[in-house]
Structure 1
Amino acid sequence: MGVVNKGFKRRARLLREALRPPWPLTQPENSGELKVRRPPKRTQIVDHTFPAVPRLVRSPVFVISPVRSGSTLLRMLLNSHSQIRAPHELHLRTVGVELTPGFSETSMLELGLDRVELEHVVWDRILHLELLRSGKQVLVDKTPGNVFIWERLKYVWPEARFIFLLRHPEGVISSLQNRKDNTTTRAALEATALKYFKPLEQARRKLDGVTVRYEELTAEPERTTREVCSYLGVAWEPEMLQYGRHHQDQFVPNLGDRSDNIKSGRIQAARTFDSIDGLPPKLAKYATAWGYG
């Protein structure tokens, strides 16, 4: 009974994380076309455990980063590699499964599947389908919302790999501030950034992975992408740095950066900040931890 309760509690916690609505950003990144909706209520998890279904994609790669940290640029560079598929933001966190009580719920339970594990099956199938379509070997998802479910991602894929993408806190806030039609106060933007920074730092301390700083990615793209390729177990390809020459996905609202800079197809220098002077203590703490102090 102790094992059963422990498993149930863990799944219940994962479910709460999955249902937590995205942190508000006043408007979705680079677009005012869509608004975030709270996910519908889900059926209750049953009080016993289920074995995990074998994964089709054993070792996917997840970029753990805040918003406005250069994740779209990193995605474009990685996706230009012949063996790396880095699609637009997948938002697995808000891809769910609904089971009708008494019918599909009972049926799936008889198969040894609860709703949480069914969601994991769907997520895994999405990644696998994308790999099959691309003909590549490595799948990278760079959705910023992954920072809120890093524990669940590790639970779903025990062999998952992680790229921690950092940016000077002032750079993140300035980028949020400079978004088109932004009317949010500085204090609100700082609060938004902190909501990403806290779980990001928790993930960095708990998980193995490779750390990339946005400023270094733009200043020394060859060295930085070589380090990432080495971590992913693929040979570095110089064509990665010319991402504008490769066929890429369409720039769709709410699925990544659509600015003129990213559309130019060229790596452009990041705005840099030489110190942490002027940052509130809560932000300065992360700047120091990430080597910007």
Structure 2
Amino acid sequence: MTDPVTDAASGRVPRPGQRFVFIGGLHRSGTTPLARTLAAHPQVSGFHDTGAKEDEGQYLQSVYPTAADRTRSGPGRFALSPAAHITETSPLADPANRDRLIADWSRYWDLDREFLVEKSPANLVMTRFLQKLFPEARFIVIMRHPAIVTLSTKKWAPRTRLSTLFENWFRAHDLLRQDAAHIEHLHVLTYESLVRDPGETLDRVRDFLGLSGPIPAEAVRDRSGGYRDRWLRLAEAGDPFTRRRFRRLCERFEDRANAYGYSLTDIDRVPPIDLSLRPAA
């Protein structure tokens, strides 16, 4: 491995022993509140006030194309493109690119902190690539109910079918499940556990990372209620076409939702707080 490239702006780089933490999860899954909550811990530095969309690290680096650029699609569709999934076999998984990423991101980290966090939704399907460059890194993925994510993403992609948005959710998480066997340090949590039991959920994140002291949870708020009600209205709509469409979505995706601990016919069913996507031994 080459020596880290010095950040041209500050003349500083992460010192030995500092840990990189990558947060991923589909758009509308809670990556932003999770990253901001984690960055409130005194040992942690995350990106803020960068001018980039949602302070996402993908917009603050010069190594790999953003998810939108490489897939030519946006939220709700990007995981359906083969170009979304980047692994250790990518020609970009080169030690020199680790140095470039460190130099790019170090402009926005407080390098006096021990844990350096980068958050981008597409990290969900890039864990193996990032681990190749940062073998010591920790990966945290947040998952949220597929129906809630689908409905909340629909406002960003009004012309995209609900079925396509569902397919994007399952494709992204199926890739994560496939990749999980290759990832040394991976922690998966759900949005539902974060908002319903933030203390225990964040304690598990703390223990996974090895932080000292609790992670503040004041910023965690549940914003799923309106989408939950909208999903229930689809089931009970007076329009027979809408009801039929709802039934077809449930028939098509219920088993796949169950595989992740969710249900489309029972919107309040969520996975347990102790969640693992790794294959059974």
Q: Are the equivalent residues in 1 in contact too, given 2:140–2:187 (CA < 8 A)?
A: yes
Is 1:270 paired with 2:224? yes
Deviations 1:94-125 (A, max 9, x none): 7238xxxxxxxxxxxxxxxx994332211122
Pairs within 5 Å for 1:76-87: 76-87=36-47
Q: Are the equivalent residues in 1 in contact too, given 2:144–2:191 (CA < 8 A)?
A: yes
Indicate the SS of the match to 1:130: coil
Amino acid at match of 1:279: C
Q: Are the equivalent residues in 1 in contact too, given 2:46–2:116 (CA < 8 A)?
A: yes
Q: Are the equivalent residues in 2 in contact too, given 1:127–1:139 (CA < 8 A)?
A: no
Partner Cα distance (1:232, 1:142) in 2: 15
C-alpha change, 1:188 and 1:292, in structure 2 (3 Å) is closer
C-alpha change, 1:269 and 1:199, in structure 2 (3 Å) is same
Q: How many residues align?
A: 199
Displacement after TM superposition at 1:269 (Å): 5.2
Look up the match of 2:261.
291
Using the size of structure 2 for normalisation, the TM-score is 0.60
Partner Cα distance (1:68, 1:157) in 2: 26
Is 1:184 paired with 2:184? no
Is 1:206 paired with 2:182? yes
Amino acid at match of 2:2: V
Pairs within 5 Å for 1:10-49: none
C-alpha change, 1:116 and 1:292, in structure 2 (3 Å) is same
Displacement after TM superposition at 1:215 (Å): 0.4
Amino acid at match of 2:224: A
Aligned-residue sequence identity (percent) comes to 22
Partner Cα distance (2:160, 2:188) in 1: 30
Using the size of structure 1 for normalisation, the TM-score is 0.58
Displacement after TM superposition at 1:168 (Å): 1.7
C-alpha change, 1:241 and 1:150, in structure 2 (3 Å) is same
Look up the match of 1:231.
208
Look up the match of 2:104.
126
Is 1:194 paired with 2:170? yes
Q: Are the equivalent residues in 2 in contact too, given 1:89–1:141 (CA < 8 A)?
A: yes
Indicate the SS of the match to 1:172: helix
C-alpha change, 1:180 and 1:129, in structure 2 (3 Å) is closer
Is 1:90 paired with 2:67? no
Q: Are the equivalent residues in 2 in contact too, given 1:166–1:214 (CA < 8 A)?
A: yes
Indicate the SS of the match to 1:61: strand
Q: Are the equivalent residues in 1 in contact too, given 2:44–2:114 (CA < 8 A)?
A: yes
Query: Structure 2: which 5+ runs fail to align?
Result: 5-12, 48-54, 65-91, 233-246, 264-281
What's the Cα RMSD here?
A: 3.2
Query: Structure 1: which 5+ runs fail to align?
Result: 1-51, 98-113, 244-265
